[in-house]
Amino acid sequence: MGAPHLKTLSELAAGLRAREFSSVELARMFLERIERAQGTLNAFISVTRAQALTDAALADRALAAGTGGALTGVPIAHKDLFCTRGVRTTCGSRMLDNFVAPYDATVVANLRRAGAVMLGKTNMDEFAMGSSNETSYYGPVRNPWNPALVPGGSSGGSAAAVAARLVPGATATDTGGSIRQPAALTGITGLKPTYGRVSRYGMVAFASSLDQGGVLAASAADAALMLREMAGFDPNDSTSVDTPVPDYVAELAQPLNGLRIGVLKEFFDTGLDRDNEQRVREALEVYTGLGAELREVSLPNLPLSVPAYYVVAPAECSSNLARYDGVRFGHRCEQPRDLQDLYRRSRGEGFGAEVKRRIMTGTYVLSAGYYDAYYLKAQRVRQLIAADFARAFESVDVLMGPTTPTPAFALGAKTADPITMYLNDIYTIGANLAGLPAVSIPCGFVAALPVGLQIVGPHFGEARILAAAHAFQRATDWHLRVPEGYA
Ligand code: GLN
């Protein structure tokens, strides 16, 4: 079979159609890689071997009959907050340790319809709250570039799995950076679509006005292929937008010549590691070499994005997580004395420390007397940030800057101080507050650790940012680097 784990999603799909290898062979090979890496990386919460092999056999039959879709027989993984019928969905929490959804999330159903074969559910920060994948009930995920370091979060399991080539692509979600930040820290491509582009139906809710499903893959071309199959209007999600899904793969060829790139001034502030900055500036030079034009752009309200987000997101989380009460589903404490005791102990036992911190903050900022001072104020700041972006897109086509202030950090380095942890999201949160699409691509290394370049586009500008990312990946080979031991 050669080394199919190093092939792109479209090469795998083509190889399957040409019968170079079967879907069952591919599933076996990737499952073996997953099992071999699990002890070191802990990237998966569930590995669905039996179902994967059954689905792969069905895919082989479809391929033989010539009836497959764009991804028929291609193995993928889902972040463990996408509901999967019959397979447990934990959201990285003890609260949902025993939860088996009776239905598939729309993203899961769409990828299944395209023929993809799920190999398992990936580890994540509890309820997607975190930037390092250390808040999971199932233990931390480790970075394949160096297992003493975090892979980023909250989609750290999906990111580590793709970076170590345990799967060629995986779903993920991004509320404040959880696709782009782990993509940067593990040297892969992560795409967060426009809010409303991908259905949230069946995605366990964290902060509903910010959550958006997306893709982690080895390259922009692979992300384009997965997005095309995942995206689309869904009547089950009232925030999903009814606008046609472009053929993102066909649009990758858009020429770069004359592309106006806005370089985000506020992203090159004092918090940015100097070596990281150097790699990002070198990436910008690659773009000028490809015919793009750079302009400095200022988004004056952007520095307020972290405080605004850490009011809005906990507020929405406190409301969304009120449903876990030990009555309807999820964890229930043993032998409750009365109803209050049932609520208190079920929630007390089911949620971890970070989730409790968010629920308490969120309840506080929504409470009478504090609502205007915190929640309403944060919503106003959010509008100002969105307006900054809208103004910037009047004069440039895309915005670029770093994805994170530093490369991957050590496990435990930031767990003692939540504010230090929250500051990891300083460059990613703006796109969520404004609902914009953004992609992170690898653009070099600092001390053998990958660094990410972030490209933000206007609403529904996925094709444009993917084409810009693809042009960079045709000119460079950072996205082809695989951590030692996983090549
Ligand atoms: N790190 C951010 C948080 O902890 C973002 C998480 C996410 O995007 N899901 O909320």
Residue 339 sits in the same domain as residue 235: no
The answer, yes or no, to whether residue 420 has pLDDT greater than 90, is: no
Contact 205, 151 (CB under 8 A): no
pLDDT tier at 269 (50, 70, 90 boundaries)?
A: confident
Nearest ligand 1 atom to alpha carbon 179: 8
Using one digit for the tens of pLDDT, what is the confidence trace for 168-200? 999 999 999 999 999 999 999 999 999 999 999
pTM to 2 decimal places:
0.98
Residue 310 sits in the same domain as residue 248: no
Residue 308 sits in the same domain as residue 240: no
Residue 222 sits in the same domain as residue 106: yes
User: What's the token pair of residue 346?
Assistant: 């079920």
Contact 124, 81 (CB under 8 A): yes
**What is the span of the domain harbouring residue 361?**
304-381
Q: Classify residue 209: in a domain, yes or no.
A: yes
Residue 91 sits in the same domain as residue 228: yes
Using one digit for the tens of pLDDT, what is the confidence trace for 77-125? 999 999 999 999 999 999 999 999 999 999 999 999 999 999 999 999 9
Q: What are phi and psi of 221, to 5 degrees?
A: -65, -40
Q: Classify residue 432: in a domain, yes or no.
A: no
- Sign of the Cα pseudo-torsion (99, 105, 111, 114, in order): positive
Say yes or no: CB of residue 421 within 6 Å of ligand 1: no
What SS3 class is residue 362? helix
Strand order in the sheet with 449-456: 44-47, 117-122, 75-79, 169-173, 213-217, 189-192, 438-446, 449-456, 398-402, 260-264, 293-297
The answer, yes or no, to whether residue 239 has pLDDT greater than 90, is: yes
Q: Classify residue 149: in a domain, yes or no.
A: yes
| pLDDT for the residue 2 | 66
| pLDDT for the residue 469 | 98
Beta bridge partners, 261, equal: 294, 398
Residue 84 sits in the same domain as residue 215: yes
| pLDDT for the residue 413 | 94
The answer, yes or no, to whether residue 262 has pLDDT greater than 90, is: yes
Among 361, 266, 358, which Cα is nearest to 304's? Answer: 266
User: What's the token pair of residue 144?
Assistant: 């394949």
Share of the chain above pLDDT 90, in %: 95
The residues annotated as belonging to the active site are 79, 154, 178
The answer, yes or no, to whether residue 1 has pLDDT greater than 80, is: no
More confident residue, 420 or 350: 350
Residue of 131, 195, 403 to mutate, ligand 1, most atoms within 8 A of C-beta: 131
Give mean pLDDT, residues 195-222.
98
| pLDDT for the residue 424 | 87
Contact 246, 213 (CB under 8 A): no
| pLDDT for the residue 270 | 73
Residue 34 sits in the same domain as residue 174: yes
Residue 89 sits in the same domain as residue 228: yes
**Mean pLDDT, the chain, as a whole number?**
96
What distance in Å separates the CA atoms of residue 77 and residue 463, rounded to the nearest whole number?
Answer: 24
Q: Classify residue 192: in a domain, yes or no.
A: yes
Alpha carbon nearest to ligand 1 atom 5, residue: 176
Residue 349 sits in the same domain as residue 203: no
Say yes or no: CB of residue 189 within 6 Å of ligand 1: no
Placement of tokens 């444009």 in the chain: 464
Nearest ligand 1 atom to alpha carbon 425: 1
Residue 373 sits in the same domain as residue 465: no
Q: Classify residue 137: in a domain, yes or no.
A: yes
Using one digit for the tens of pLDDT, what is the confidence trace for 446-486? 999 999 999 999 999 999 999 999 999 999 999 999 999 99
Q: Classify residue 272: in a domain, yes or no.
A: no
Q: How far does residue 177's CA lie from ligand 1's centre (Å)?
A: 6
Overall domain count for the chain: 2
Residue 128 sits in the same domain as residue 240: yes
β-strand pairing of 169-173 with 398-402: unpaired
Residue 122 sits in the same domain as residue 193: yes
Beta bridge partners, 192, equal: 438
Q: Classify residue 274: in a domain, yes or no.
A: no
What SS3 class is residue 187? coil
Share of the chain above pLDDT 70, in %: 100
The answer, yes or no, to whether residue 322 has pLDDT greater than 80, is: yes
Q: Classify residue 76: in a domain, yes or no.
A: yes
| pLDDT for the residue 154 | 98
* CATH classification of the domain holding 83: 3.90.1300.10
